[in-house]
Chain A
Amino acid sequence: MLDPTPTGLHSGGTPLLQTVGLTKRYGNFLANEAIDIDIWPQQIHALLGENGAGKSTLVKTIYGLIQPSEGEMRWQGEKMVLSGPSEARARGIGMVFQHFSLFDNLTVAENVALGLDGKESFKDMSARLEEVSNVYGLPLDPKREVWQLSVGERQRIEIVRVLMQNPKFLILDEPTAVLTPQEADQLFIVLDRLKAEGRAILYISHKLEEVKRLCDTATILRGGKKVSTCNPQQETAASLARMMVGADIKEVKAAAGRKTTVPRLVVNDLNMEPDDPHGVRLANISLELKGGEILGIAGVAGNGQDELFAALSGERQCPDPGTIVIDGHAAGHLSITLRRKLGAAFVPEERLGHGTAPRMKLSENALLTGHAASGMVQHGFVNTAATLSTVDRATETFDVRKAKRDPEAASLSGGNLQKFIVGREILRNPAVLVVSQPTWGVDAGAAAVIRQALLDLAASGAAVLVTSQDLDELAEITDRIAVMFHGHLSQPMATAEATREKLGLLMGGSSLEQKEAPHAVSA
């Protein structure tokens, strides 16, 4: 499909894309500082870095979404100034974003048509869509509406849409974040094939094993600067991580001889209709979690994890009290405040706007979840000293870094705010902690602190339920893992036995025991 480009030796030929001293400044903040990258045809080039390292800024500049403050880009050796993404696409640069831009109520073909600049008829375009998707092994039915599709299928639309423009250079932003291990393997086959056709790929990820397996070259960013360009196959995951973080990462240690006690969180046959028409119906969910135990819930995003969190927290209540039992008390019908009074604590996935009110101070955000159970409110009046002392204790215990004693939540970095939120809940000594994506978008140092805190909490006798899409995280801290798919929860298995293959099958909707089509889906 693409002219066979002479690959040439990297030392001799011209790179497909070159950035020279590329700098992007926001006010006094340098998001990118003098970045030099060479990207060659027939190369899968990894872009590694923690959140805030400047990866997004760099690829947005290359895709023409933002203009560099200094430095320049060269395309096939010639200086390139992009006025916008359509010019980047015209040159042959395509990008698949981490967050899809698809219309749920339109069909696959309609969504693709909306994203293309060309003037071909809808019929021709649909035919070409089917052809491209078949050639690359990315099967898609052009007539289906997007809301019916899985996350993996939605990503296929985005990839096919980009491939239909026949790009020479493809940027992929965290493409496997939403895929099961098996789906990720299929994606890698497609990427290898694109590479063999002579295209270049810039692959953004923080999954180091994946990068080692797939990529020829890796450029590592830290604090807006390029730290190094290396061959990831000659590095270890630990050495790559050290370059990303700039320091060794503390190992998370589970306390030895942790004992499980009585059941503290029990869910009995929970069924719940979604309140949003595109939400997921929870069906027959049962689980039992003992004190001292950490249960992980794996699964691709959008399989009912948000709905389960709302049901467990009491943001949505069930008519039958016995559905959810917290520390021996039937709690299904109780509000979130009453569940907190029973000793439950909750950490939602979204930090700003759900876990905290962004424009309110930390002390007020401590009051947000602490008003029910601790001495923060007396006769309807707020005890400001108590709320501030929670902020101070969380700051000290969990190393929350902030500019002043009591800043607004939104002014903290993601990692520090997450440490505050987790700390705020743990300081209440909860009997049960339900936490969703505890380290999502959090730097490695903060992630280690948070995971350690969860392990310590379990060691002190609490029951901890962790929902995460990061299988490595679940393997590191949980005792048992269950998988969520289409609103159903699998039987939990011991973490030691939960291989990536087993989990991947469950995440894709297959049942482990019987090979027949899972009745779960049609239920």
Chain B
Amino acid sequence: MQLVLEKRAERSNTIALISPLIAIGLTIVTMTILFAILGKNPILALHAYFIAPLSDSYSLQEIAVKATPLVMIAVGLSLCYLANVWNIGAEGQFLIGAVAGSWLPVVTHGTDAGYWVLPAMLVCGTVAGALYALIPAICKVKFGASEILTSLMLVYVADLFLDYMVRGPWRDPNGFNFPTTAEFDPVATVPLLVSGGRLHLGAIIALLVVAAVAVMLGRTIKGFEIRVVGAAPRAARFGGFNSNQLILLTFAISGGLAGLAGIIEVAGPVGHLQPGFSPGYGFTAIIVAFLGRLNPVGILIAGLFLALTFIGGEQAQIAMKIPLDVTKVFQGILLFYVLACDSLILYRFRLIFPSPKVSSGAV
């Protein structure tokens, strides 16, 4: 008996839908084993991860707050990945967007600047993120440099730049030497949706982004160009589509959305600029993009799920002393299974039994 992977005649849409679910199932099985090895009760740990955060309004709001940047970044990344270019540096674009957007609240701090400040901040963050993403894109188009390496390396540049700004020029004079800017003024803060809660306007913006990109991919010629350049580059050239232009476009959009997410995060839940304000949203968004099948609506669901693991990880740390890094392990295992299960879309398993008619003499 033999187990073989066999190519399907056509991609299976059913498997495309359930493959993320299979991946989540396999991840949970693996995590159960991991919890058992750590000496924790797997049932309680899984409860803390996945059930407890869903049971109170504060945690539910917190999930939406965490999902907001993940979804916004991942939707942009999905455009790159569909076009077969690899922006790994969304974390850097996220940080640069936060820094550039923070310039206005820092310089207008304590003045009587009006309500134009927040919209202007969002524009600054978006533009800065897009420009920052264009650096690896231009290097790829002009010099053939691998965008994977350059975009990733620029993450560390952005991180250190943020560090320099808050420790140097922008440090709050009344901040007891902590590396942070002053708390943003109310006109420079993203308004809350529920008074006294945590949910803010960014969640609505994320939903609008999902809708806009879904329409763009499914209905417009630009969306078709992005998909065909990624799926069949030579056919795309035959179709008259310029792949270099699309590399620049997809990088600019994904960088812009990451930058927007960055300034919303700083002007919303955080309230000021400080180092380490991102728990790696830009990297986790890569998992979200793939778990969501590079589809905007799928990414919305995947973003909420990954946000759940962040909150669940905190709960598990508080309740069961499970290290917070286990959350990252969980996310890594999940990405691994998602990519593995994707092969089932084009292939299927088949058991081959030896033919009963094999003549004697064969071993």
Contacts and interface: CB of A to CB of B under 8 A. Distances in A.
Interface in B323-363: 350, 355, 357-359, 361-362
Given A348-B238, A369-B239, A357 B10 contact: no
Interface string B210-250: 00000000011110100110011011111110000000000
Given A367-B224, A381-B220, 6 more contacts: A335-B240, A350-B234, A357-B232, A357-B236, A358-B232, A410-B10
Contacts of B235: 353-357, 365, 368
Contacts, number: 81
A367 B235 CA distance: 12
Given A353-B234, A360-B232, A70 B221 contact: no
Given A369-B238, A408-B10, A70 B219 contact: no
A359 B11 contact: yes
Given A69-B355, A360-B228, A315 B221 contact: no
A382 B228 contact: no
A346 interface: yes
B9 interface: yes
Given A380-B220, A411-B9, A357 B228 contact: yes
Nearest to A81: B362
Residue of B231, B234, B239, B355 with most partner-chain A CB within 10 A: B239
A106 to B, nearest CB: 26
B10 A411 contact: yes
Nearest to B6: A27
Question: Which of the four size classes fits the interface of chain B?
Answer: 20 to 34
Interface in A338-368: 340, 346, 348, 350, 353-360, 364-365, 367-368
Interface string A369-389: 101100001001110000000
Contacts of B232: 353, 356-360
Contact of A364 (B6, B224, B237): B224
A274 interface: no
B229 to A, nearest CB: 10
B360 to A, nearest CB: 11
A229 to B, nearest CB: 25
A289 B130 CA distance: 49
Contacts of B357: 70
10 contacts: A336-B237, A353-B232, A354-B238, A358-B232, A360-B231, A368-B235, A368-B239, A371-B224, A381-B221, A382-B219
Interface of B: 6, 9-11, 219-222, 224, 227-228, 231-232, 234-240, 350, 355, 357-359, 361-362
Contact of B359 (A72, A356, A359): A72
A412 to B, nearest CB: 10
A27 B3 CA distance: 13
A372 B240 contact: yes
Given A72-B359, A357-B236, A381 B219 contact: yes
B166 to A, nearest CB: 42
A155 interface: no
A407 interface: yes
Contact of B355 (A70, A355, A359, A407): A70
Residue of B220, B232, B361 with most partner-chain A CB within 10 A: B232
Given A27-B350, A358-B232, A360-B227, A407 B10 contact: yes
A364 B11 contact: no
Contacts of A69: 355
The prevalent SS among residues of B at the interface is: mixed
Interface in A1-53: 27
Nearest to B362: A81
A337 interface: yes
B183 to A, nearest CB: 43
Contacts of A205: none
Interface of A: 27, 69-70, 72, 79, 81, 313-315, 335-337, 340, 346, 348, 350, 353-360, 364-365, 367-369, 371-372, 377, 380-382, 407-408, 410-411
Contacts of B240: 314, 335-337, 340, 371-372
Contacts of A365: 235
A336 B241 CA distance: 9
A380 B221 CA distance: 6
A340 B241 CA distance: 13
B93 to A, nearest CB: 26
B301 to A, nearest CB: 24
A380 B359 CA distance: 64
A417 to B, nearest CB: 13
B17 to A, nearest CB: 17
Contacts of A411: 9-10
Nearest to A354: B234
Contacts of A372: 240
A20 to B, nearest CB: 10
A335 B236 CA distance: 13
Nearest to A27: B6
Contacts of A337: 240
B221 A355 contact: no
Nearest to A339: B240
Nearest to B11: A359
Contacts of B9: 411
Contacts of B355: 69-70
B237 A382 contact: no
A523 B227 CA distance: 43
B346 to A, nearest CB: 8
A382 B359 contact: no
B234 A382 contact: no
Given A348-B238, A354-B238, A357-B235, A408 B228 contact: no
A358 B7 CA distance: 14
Nearest to A356: B235
A313 B238 CA distance: 8
B359 A368 contact: no
Contacts of B358: 70
Q: Which 4 A-B pairs have the closest CB atoms?
A: A337-B240, A357-B232, A368-B239, A357-B235
Nearest to A350: B234
A346 B350 CA distance: 41
A353 B237 CA distance: 10
A313 B355 CA distance: 52
A368 B228 contact: yes
B10 to A, nearest CB: 5
B219 A368 contact: no
Contact of B231 (A359, A377, A382): A359
Contacts of B228: 357, 360, 364, 368
Nearest to B231: A357
B85 to A, nearest CB: 17
Nearest to A25: B355
B121 to A, nearest CB: 30
A215 to B, nearest CB: 32
Nearest to A338: B240
A366 B227 CA distance: 15
A251 B362 CA distance: 51
Contact of A408 (B6, B11, B222, B236): B11
